[in-house]
């Protein structure tokens, strides 16, 4: 149908190296949650979900339909092109998905990724950036925030922050980290 299906909600998933982005995405891409999510991941991730999930490399097309209805693809050229292709396929009825999740690399500043949704007319007509979700490693988050500007920017841009690995971190350290994050965001 060529009918307008409304804007496609988009989430940017960010977080420093080792915060658990890949683990979270693997769950999203394998559980039966009844939602059709298209995941776009930056190729140069530390640990690629591709190794396990993207076994079928169909020529130059890196889009894979998973058994739970999710779609997975990697950014080959740039984000803009990938988003635009996905929206096109959705309009033509070639792909079905309700939301897009973009995983940035652990060293990325989410700013430029977020700007794609506002600065580019074609993308702005198809997508609505509805959240920037940042994962923070409970054990190493503090040191990363001290040392790395990108980690601080990931917190600054976020509207949802999840602290991972709290099971292996000291409870008082986690409280201190939460306090610090609230001040930064």
* Confidence (pTM): 0.85
183 or 3, greater pLDDT:
183
Alpha carbon distance 13, 101 (integer Å): 7
Q: How confident is the model at residue 3 (pLDDT cuts 50, 70, 90)?
A: very low
Coil, helix or strand for 176? helix
Pairing of strands 71-75, 63-65: antiparallel
Whether 37 shows a pLDDT value over 70: the answer reads yes
DSSP 67-124: TTS-EEEEESS-HHHHHHHHHHHHHTTS---SEEEEEPPTT--HHHHHHHHHH-HHHH
Average pLDDT over every residue of 73-85 = 83
Q: 112, 114, 170: which is closest to 141 by C-alpha?
A: 170
Element (H, E) at 138: none
d(CA 98, CA 5): 10
Calpha distance 156→164 (Å, rounded): 18
| pLDDT of amino acid 1 | 38
Model confidence pLDDT, tens digit, residues 122-163? 999 999 999 999 999 999 999 999 999 999 999 999 999 999
> What tokens appear for 88 in the block?
């096109």
Instruction: Please state, rounded to an integer, the average pLDDT across all residues of the chain.
Output: 85
CA dihedral 103, 104, 110, 112 (to 10 degrees): -110
Which residues lie below 8 Å from residue 39, measured CB to CB, with a gap of 6+?
Answer: 25, 28, 29, 49, 70, 71, 72, 73, 100, 101, 102, 103
- Residues in a beta bridge with 131: 11
The answer to whether residues 142 and 176 touch, using CB atoms and an 8 Å cutoff, is yes
């Amino acid at each position: 149908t060529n009918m307008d299906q409304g804007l496609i909600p988009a989430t940017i998933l960010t977080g420093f190296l080792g915060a658990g982005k890949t683990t979270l995405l693997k769950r999203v891409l394998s559980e039966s949650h009844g939602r059709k999510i298209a995941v776009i991941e930056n190729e140069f991730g530390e640990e690629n979900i591709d190794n396990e999930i993207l076994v079928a490399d169909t020529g130059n097309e890196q889009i894979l339909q998973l058994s739970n209805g999710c779609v997975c693809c990697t950014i080959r050229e740039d984000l803009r092109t990938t988003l635009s292709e996905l929206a096109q396929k959705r309009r033509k009825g070639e792909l079905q998905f309700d939301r897009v999740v973009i995983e940035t690399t652990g060293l990325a500043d989410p700013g430029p990724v977020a700007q794609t949704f506002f600065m580019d007319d074609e993308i702005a007509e198809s997508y609505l950036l509805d959240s920037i979700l940042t994962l923070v490693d409970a054990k190493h988050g503090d040191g990363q925030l001290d040392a790395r500007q990108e980690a601080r920017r990931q917190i600054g841009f976020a509207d949802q922050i999840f602290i991972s690995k709290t099971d292996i971190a000291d409870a008082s350290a986690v409280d201190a980290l939460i306090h610090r994050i609230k001040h930064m965001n």
